Structure 1
Amino acid sequence: MTLPPDGLPPNPNPRKPAFSLPAGACDSHCHIYGPFARFPLPADRSFNPHEVPETALRAVHDRLGFARAVIVQSQGHGFDHGPVLAALRDHPGRYRAVALIRRTDSEETIAAFDAAGFCGVRFSFLPHLGGEPDLDLVREVIAKVKPFGWHVAIHVAGHDIVRHAPFIRSIDATVVVDHMARPPVAEGADGPATTMLRSLIDKGNIWAKISGADRLSKEGPPYRDAISIAASLVRHAPERIVWGSDWPHVNLHGPMPDDGELVDLLAQVVPDEAVRHRILVDNPKELFGFP
């Protein structure tokens, strides 16, 4: 039986941003699903996504002005990385990727992923994505990918960034905290979660993605209540910040964001054009190893 998708499909016609993105701009966090006739959804998925394959992602990026992207393997496809591997193979240089790796995955599997263009491994601590993982198993996987120089993506929410700060500090690799650690937006830029994230960034090997403003916001579009949190991270360490759309915004049940509006929000978060260039072009090239 085919189950209905969780949440809504992405906005099919995002507006063009009000400003032109720099050449080589990178969307550092997005996902793809399908086509399901070629890549059926596996039984071990944690939710049911809409069918939005690489062709749909590329059309959105071409409209918005992104030349590069980092595709994050989603638990909607479980551990079947087929769609992402195909995107990497068919568009070399345009995409890099982040994998989901198990302790049972062989060194040969990880080496093949690395050769294809994967450059990171992700761990989610959110209940609807499987809950908090066993940290000993996480450490085993980090040790597996360490010889390949991959970064470690951490997906936490609320005050979990505070609770897991000792573990995050202990990671002997480059760390990327997804979606600004999804802090409670009402606490603002000086709340415990964002204050801790800035402290972690000070360690030197820890980065943050200013993405997911639509998930943080309580006001809704144009998400101005999330600006102060993102802007505080940019002011604190612009050299370790990247931006992501989070397209196609899975598991959202309210109005879907307009991705052009999310890009325009970046101009408010980062009004300085040179700093935007760093966040959209220079930093992703360094962090993800684009050619």
Structure 2
Amino acid sequence: MNLTNTTPLCQAPDLEIRSPKIAFPSGAVDCHAHVCGPASQFPYAGERIYTPPDATLTQYESLLKMLGVDRAVLVQPSVYDTDNRAMLAALSTNPNKFRGVAVIHPEISDVQLEAMHHAGVRGIRCNVVDVADKSVGLPIAELTALAERIQPFGWHLELLAHVNEYPDLANKFADFPVDLVFGHFGYSHARHSVNDKGFQGLLELLRNHKAWVKMTGPYRICDGDFPYVDMRALNDEVIKANSKRLVWGSDWPHVMVKKHMPHDADLCDLFGSWVSDPGLRKTILSDNPCMLYDFPAITGHH
């Protein structure tokens, strides 16, 4: 079924050329971005909930240059379902600069997983937000089965889930076979506050070194426009819980943003104002991603 005519088009990212005021440390990694298209070459899945404008690797590389960010993790967007070709093609252009997070079909073979590992994939993403049947809850058995498949490669499992929907999050994942990574601060809307049971469970997983948190997409989980003041408390809590388990990402090209489209330079500066200590910035922007995504050591400087 082709949903091209009924699937809403997304806003395009802000294309103004402007660098942030913050200087990123050498070896900094954008740990969350998507390459979409060109659609003529990598067509989107028929069953999808949005249609992004083309956001190509070429555009993304000029963005990284503009921001002063050295490396990046490309995450498979939901519009491609389990067709990872666009992401894998991007990884192949510069294996030292890029890592990938794939979306896989449960029937995938070990040989295919191994090929993905050699291509630079270091994790898989499971989206339990944009799913049709909300009544199922967390598919722990399926997630555990997937985790056992990827464990030999040292991969992690990235979860796109609203942690506020799972008050027993910490217990559910207490003995999970691989590292868990939660996108968008755990994707719990700021209105639920930091005292929400699910968010508290996420903090517990962080403290126990069971999970990582991506400091991404603040505009997705609060009501106001930039500078997303409601989000500050969630930011401070994850830092307090375990700064060694945090990574940052631009979330470019900001698909499905319904409010004012933020400029990437401003998002970088917002991170700079929320994380003002240079040592802590280096930990989050460079040291942590090297561990999580298995990047080679950086030689030389910008």
TM-score normalised by length of structure 1: 0.93
Structure 2: which amino acid aligns with 1:188? S
**Alpha-carbon distance between aligned partners in 2 of 1:260 and 1:248, rounded to the nearest angstrom:** 13
Indicate the residue corresponding to 1:213 in structure 2: 218
The Cα offsets for residues 182-215 of structure 1, whole Å up to 9 and x where unpaired, read as 1221343333343221111122131111111111
Indicate the residue corresponding to 1:65 in structure 2: 68
Cα distance change of structure 1 residues 148 and 290 upon mapping to structure 2, 3 Å threshold: same
Cα distance change of structure 1 residues 96 and 103 upon mapping to structure 2, 3 Å threshold: same
Secondary structure of the 2:225 match is coil
Q: Check conservation: 2:225, 2:259, Cα contact below 8 A.
A: no
More deviation, 99-108/280-289: 99-108
Cα distance change of structure 1 residues 129 and 150 upon mapping to structure 2, 3 Å threshold: farther
**Alpha-carbon distance between aligned partners in 1 of 2:162 and 2:155, rounded to the nearest angstrom:** 23
Structure 1: which amino acid aligns with 2:188? P
Indicate the residue corresponding to 1:185 in structure 2: 190
Indicate the residue corresponding to 1:222 in structure 2: 227
**What 5-or-longer segments of structure 1 have no aligned partner?**
none
Cα distance change of structure 1 residues 110 and 133 upon mapping to structure 2, 3 Å threshold: farther
Structure 2: which amino acid aligns with 1:59? S
Indicate the residue corresponding to 1:48 in structure 2: 51
RMSD of aligned Cα (Å) = 1.9
Cα distance change of structure 1 residues 61 and 5 upon mapping to structure 2, 3 Å threshold: farther
Indicate the residue corresponding to 1:96 in structure 2: 99
1:101-116 correspondence to structure 2 within 5 Å:
101-116=104-119
Cα distance change of structure 1 residues 17 and 47 upon mapping to structure 2, 3 Å threshold: same
Match of 2:204 among 189, 196, 199: 199
Cα distance change of structure 1 residues 140 and 179 upon mapping to structure 2, 3 Å threshold: same
Determine whether 1:16 maps to 2:19.
yes
Q: Check conservation: 2:250, 2:267, Cα contact below 8 A.
A: yes
Identity of aligned residues (%): 29
Secondary structure of the 1:159 match is helix
Shift of 1:14: 5.7
Cα distance change of structure 1 residues 176 and 68 upon mapping to structure 2, 3 Å threshold: same
Secondary structure of the 2:235 match is helix
**Alpha-carbon distance between aligned partners in 1 of 2:163 and 2:124, rounded to the nearest angstrom:** 22
**What 5-or-longer segments of structure 2 have no aligned partner?**
297-302
Q: Check conservation: 1:99, 1:122, Cα contact below 8 A.
A: yes
Indicate the residue corresponding to 2:299 in structure 1: none
Shift of 1:170: 2.9
1:161-172 correspondence to structure 2 within 5 Å:
161-172=166-177
**Alpha-carbon distance between aligned partners in 2 of 1:148 and 1:133, rounded to the nearest angstrom:** 24
**Alpha-carbon distance between aligned partners in 2 of 1:187 and 1:164, rounded to the nearest angstrom:** 15
Structure 1: which amino acid aligns with 2:184? H
Indicate the residue corresponding to 2:300 in structure 1: none
More deviation, 85-94/161-170: 161-170
Secondary structure of the 1:49 match is coil
Structure 1: which amino acid aligns with 2:27? G
Shift of 1:117: 0.2
- Figure out how many residues of one structure are paired with residues of the other and give that number: 291
**Alpha-carbon distance between aligned partners in 1 of 2:89 and 2:23, rounded to the nearest angstrom:** 29
